[in-house]
Amino acid sequence: MSTTTLSTKDNIRHTAEKLFRERGYAAIGMRELAREVGIEAPSIYNHYKSKDDLLREICFDIAEQFFKAFEIAERIHEKPGKKIKQLMKAHVSVIARNLEASEVFFNEWMFLQEPHLSDFKKQRYEYEMKFREAIEAGMKQGSFKKMNSKLVAFAIFSSLNATYDLLKNNEPMAEENIAEDIANLLLKGLKE
């Protein structure tokens, strides 16, 4: 835990992540956000152009982290099973490092305004497709069962994205174990 005193801008950012996650972007007013930070609402505008600007910074920052983590994990060339596992670990690691912000990324992106909304959707689709390519490669190569790759991708993503709830509601569980366990479950199945 860093003990550096955060800048006001960082304080606004982190408080926004916390509040947007807890109660939703639309339900949080600038005055409430400001009160939680310990300043007055108009002071926020010394650091962010608008409420949308705040949301945009959060969402696109997380998006960037997902892409970077994916690229790094992709470089390690492995057999499909190991590769998917690597990608899943990278994905979970981004969530675990940004517990509140990633929830905002998943649940509040629809409040982005154009043209950022379209931008965001495009990036999300790209990311999904990168995952699906890795899955389909494994199917073609014979390591994976031949299934609807979209269904598989959705099952993987939604399982991984439950990381927040697992880390928040549970007996402490190491981040790496979550990815490892979910990967094993999805790869080898629950049946003995």
Partner DNA sequence: TATATTCGCTAACAGTTGTTAGCCATGAGC
Partner DNA sequence: GCTCATGGCTAACAACTGTTAGCGAATATA
Return residues touching DNA (CB under 7 A): 7-8, 28-32, 34, 39-43, 45-47, 49-52
Instruction: Identify the CA nearest to 127 among candidates 164, 76, 87, 169.
Output: 87
Structure tokens that stand for 150 in this block: 């979209």
**Partner touching 190 among DNA, its own copies, none, CB below 5 to 8 Å by kind:** its own copies
Instruction: Report the distance separating Cα 109 and Cα 118, nearest Å.
Output: 10
DSSP 8-state class, residue 175? H
From the CB of 15, what's the least distance to DNA, in Å?
A: 13
Nearer to its own copies, 64 or 154 (CB): 154
Instruction: Report the distance separating Cα 102 and Cα 141, nearest Å.
Output: 33
Nearer to DNA, 49 or 140 (CB): 49
Instruction: Report the distance separating Cα 122 and Cα 114, nearest Å.
Output: 12
Nearer to its own copies, 40 or 176 (CB): 176
**Partner touching 51 among DNA, its own copies, none, CB below 5 to 8 Å by kind:** DNA
Q: Which parts of this chain interact with its own copies (CB under 8 A)?
A: 23-24, 26-27, 81, 84, 107, 110-111, 135, 138, 142-145, 147-148, 150-152, 154-155, 157-159, 161-162, 165-166, 169-170, 173, 178, 181-182, 185-192
Q: What type of residue is 68?
A: K
Rg (CA), the chain: 19
